[in-house]
């Protein structure tokens, strides 16, 4: 397995990068990705160490099942401090602390431990997710510039920069292509509130006969990276927050995926879909019909 601390993700050739009108010095993008990478590795090491020492639940959020651990909070504090020391004029938008604005026009969108329930139970599918976007922390309007998703349990480091491609360690990623819908391996997730999970289960029940099978990994960031790496063919989920998908969506896009919602909608809380564009075009109408069929119960 590639050592993530020595993986070849340093950007030195950005000749194919286009449409970065506000980052005229391309070394800025290199610096942003390297900062995200080093911060994710440092934060991941802390989260992994705290997991080995034993996990302490700090609180619950939207429901008793929606927990936050002391490690979530400690890891976000570390990430926030490292980013602020390196770039004090940037904004910050994380899951576990108050958002702050900046003067640079850039915002860091952070999930310190995506997949907290997996982390709580010792399931090795959790990740540090760090993205830097141009604009406010709104997926409908931002432009993602660089993103990193790091799974410290498996030592897998996913990276991407706008226009430069996506990588797992030093391996360039490409989504699976030319996959018929009935042979597509789909991934999805479930919310924490019982009513939403029941509605999501109805959608899965309606979809299961149209695809190869369905997986539920428990981390949206890793689901999106799995599409990028060809471990899933398509991923969809409703109810995600910006920090859940900011980095993973960029990584999927840079591996060739289309990422969005229904129709021409951008990805957001109402829906995230990620797949090779051909499969997306076949999958989206099927999902849209299921959403329409179960609209009365949608939450």
> Where among 137, 172, 207 does a domain terminate?
172
Q: Of 91 and 101, which is predicted with more confidence?
A: 91
Domain check: are 143 and 194 in the same one?
no
Domain check: are 9 and 75 in the same one?
yes
pLDDT band at residue 192 using 50, 70 and 90 as cut-offs: confident
Q: Tell me what the pLDDT averaged over the chain comes to.
A: 89
Whichever domain contains 244, its CATH number is 3.40.190.80
Domain check: are 108 and 166 in the same one?
yes
DSSP letter at 91?
A: E
Domain check: are 113 and 131 in the same one?
yes
Domain check: are 10 and 37 in the same one?
yes
Report whether pLDDT(19) > 60: no
The pLDDT score that the predictor gives to residue 95 is 87
- Phi first, then psi, for residue 286 (nearest 5°) are -65, -45
Domain check: are 141 and 216 in the same one?
no
Q: What number is the average pLDDT over the span 64-71?
A: 71
CA–CA gap between residue 294 and residue 290 (Å, rounded): 6
Domain check: are 150 and 205 in the same one?
no
> Where among 141, 172, 203 does a domain terminate?
172
The percentage of residues in the chain with a pLDDT greater than 70, rounded to a whole number, is: 86
Domain check: are 131 and 233 in the same one?
no
Q: Of 137 and 122, which is predicted with more confidence?
A: 122
pLDDT band at residue 117 using 50, 70 and 90 as cut-offs: very high
Q: What is the count of structural domains for the chain?
A: 2
The pLDDT score that the predictor gives to residue 62 is 55
The pLDDT score that the predictor gives to residue 142 is 95
> Where among 147, 172, 197 does a domain terminate?
172
Domain check: are 211 and 279 in the same one?
yes
CA–CA gap between residue 186 and residue 71 (Å, rounded): 30
CA dihedral (64, 70, 72, 75) in degrees, to 10, reads 170
Give the Å distances, CA to CA, from 252 to 70, 105, 147, 154, 256. 30, 24, 10, 19, 7
CA–CA gap between residue 33 and residue 88 (Å, rounded): 16
Q: In a 10 Å sphere around its CB, with 0-12 CB exposed, 13-18 middle and 19+ buried, how is residue 270 labelled?
A: middle
Joined tokens for residue 223: 């689901």
The pLDDT score that the predictor gives to residue 93 is 96
pTM, 2 dp: 0.89
CA–CA gap between residue 160 and residue 261 (Å, rounded): 21
**Catalytic residue numbers?**
95, 111, 113-114, 116, 244
Cβ neighbours for 64, distance < 8 A, ≥ 6 positions apart: none
The pLDDT score that the predictor gives to residue 135 is 87
Lowest mean pLDDT among 38-47, 81-90, 223-232, 288-297: 288-297
Domain check: are 209 and 158 in the same one?
no
Report whether pLDDT(14) > 60: no
DSSP string, 238-279: SS--HHHHHHHHHHHHHTT-EEE-STTPPSBTTBEEEE-HHH
Domain check: are 109 and 209 in the same one?
no
CA 182, distance to chain mean position in Å, is 26
The pLDDT score that the predictor gives to residue 16 is 40
What is the extent of the structural domain holding 229? 181-297
Whichever domain contains 138, its CATH number is 3.30.540.10
């Amino acid at each position: 397995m590639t050592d993530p601390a020595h993986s070849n993700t340093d950007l030195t050739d950005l000749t194919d990068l286009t449409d970065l009108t506000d980052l005229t010095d391309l070394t800025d993008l290199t610096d942003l990705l390297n900062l995200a990478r080093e911060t994710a590795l440092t934060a991941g090491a802390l989260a992994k160490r705290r997991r080995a020492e034993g996990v302490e639940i700090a609180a619950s959020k939207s429901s008793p099942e929606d927990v936050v651990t002391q490690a979530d909070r400690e890891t976000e504090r570390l990430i926030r401090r490292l980013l602020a020391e390196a770039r004090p004029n940037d904004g910050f938008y994380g899951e576990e602390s108050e958002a702050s604005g900046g003067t640079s026009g850039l915002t860091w969108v952070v999930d310190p431990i995506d997949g907290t329930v997996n982390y709580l139970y010792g399931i090795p599918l959790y990740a540090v997710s760090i993205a830097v976007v141009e604009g406010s922390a709104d997926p409908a309007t931002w432009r993602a510039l660089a993103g990193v998703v790091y799974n410290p349990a498996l030592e897998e480091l996913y990276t991407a920069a706008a226009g430069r491609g996506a990588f797992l360690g030093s391996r360039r990623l490409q989504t699976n292509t030319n996959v018929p819908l009935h042979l597509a391996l789909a991934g999805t997730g479930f919310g924490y509130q019982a009513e939403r999970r029941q509605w999501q289960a109805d959608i899965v029940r309606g979809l299961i006969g149209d695809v190869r099978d369905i997986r539920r990994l428990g981390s949206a960031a890793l689901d999106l990276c799995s599409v990028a790496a060809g471990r899933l063919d398509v991923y969809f989920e409703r109810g995600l927050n910006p920090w859940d998908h900011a980095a993973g969506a960029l990584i999927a896009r840079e591996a060739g995926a289309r990422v969005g919602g229904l129709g021409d909608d951008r990805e957001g809380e109402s829906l995230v879909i990620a797949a090779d564009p051909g499969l997306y075009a076949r999958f989206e109408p099927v999902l849209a019909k299921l959403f329409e069929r179960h609209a009365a119960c949608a939450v």
